[in-house]
Amino acid sequence: MLNLLIPHDLPQARPERPGTALQPMRLGGSTMGTDWSVTCHMPRGMQADTIRDAAEAVFAEIIRQMSTWKPASLISQFNRLPLGGAIELPAAFAHVLEVTLQVAAATDGALNPCLGAETSRLGFGPASDSSVPHETAHDAWRTLAPTGHTLTRHAAYQLDLSAIAKGHAVDLLAVALRDLGITRFLAEIGGEFVAGDPKSDGLPWWVDIETLSAATRWRVALCGQALATSGDYRKMRFENGQRLSHITPHPAAAPADGDLASVSVLHASCAMADAWATGLFASGPATGLRLANAHGIAALFQFRDRPAAPSDTLKRMQD
């Protein structure tokens, strides 16, 4: 069964006039441990390398600031600071932290950027100070209060913004494309999407949400919006018969919540979609669906052994 999701504010189809000097282009590569791609209609005469160079510059800056795998990155430097030490935050880092804290507060810490040590302890991150008490890290996000552009390390935790950094990178990639005069595009990093204006034929960019079953599909019409998915259906491992996820569940999540495989979120911002997808997944399906409905989030909850559950906002998009 195919479920079509069409946002109510989808722009009216406006095809390019005949003779408009645009040419289709698709290119991609690897970054941040995954793949990226851009499908676009670019001005004739523009070289694909121009787009590639702009994309690589975006990725390099995000990695320089927020990669926990790079010892020289800004976030790694922060994690090595003694208590009371501080760093100056560049714009991208500050924005990602702001989005993170907004969703952390809305989800009562289900989205928690202070669990880097726990992620590493479970085998999903780089080696770090695993001596940070689990309970301490769960509350440490409340101490993340930048003063202007300065962030001080007030508690012993390992900051990890990986849940949102990739989404923000797609947002910045979209900005870079528009700066090049490319407005009709679909940009993607590892399954996180941002769409610009409709395609040259006036139709939206149709994106299929990845599903566990071929029997049911969810297809989204994207124009000027973003789609992000978080889950453990790909990134997990088993230890002593227990499923371990790279997304640490909220302490209040029930054991039965392990049936949840992924959460996909549609939003104007890919960073925000990424943040909500992770926060809702970590909350568990019951609390996550309640939060999505309370905050008007368009979200799809997919399970391993039962039908998917759309939020109220997403239901209103079903064609």
Which domains does the chain carry?
227-315 (3.10.520.10)
List, for residues 84-130, the tens digit of each pLDDT value: 999 999 999 999 999 999 999 999 999 999 887 666 565 555 665 55
* Segment holding 168, helix H or strand E: helix 162-179
Strand duo 217-222 + 2-5: pairing: parallel
Lowest-confidence segment of 47-51, 111-115, 230-234, 264-268 by average pLDDT: 230-234
List, for residues 39-67, the tens digit of each pLDDT value: 999 988 899 999 999 999 999 999 999 99
**C-beta of residue 25 within 8 angstroms of C-beta of residue 41:** yes
With a cut of 70, say whether residue 238 has pLDDT above it: no
Query: Considering only CA atoms, which of 285, 270, 303, 302 is closest in space to residue 196?
Result: 270
Flag whether 100 is marked binding.
no
Task: Tell me the average pLDDT of the chain.
Answer: 87
* Segment holding 303, helix H or strand E: strand 298-303
Amino acid at 159: L
**C-beta of residue 298 within 8 angstroms of C-beta of residue 266:** yes
**C-beta of residue 281 within 8 angstroms of C-beta of residue 263:** yes
Cα distance between residue 63 and residue 76, in whole Å: 11
Q: Who has greater pLDDT, 272 or 114?
A: 272
Flag whether 274 is marked binding.
yes
Q: What is the full DSSP assignment across 19-55?
A: T--EEEEEEEEEETTEEEEEEEEEETT--HHHHHHHH
Flag whether 221 is marked binding.
no
List, for residues 180-205, the tens digit of each pLDDT value: 999 999 999 999 999 999 998 889 99
* pLDDT at residue 256, as a whole number: 46
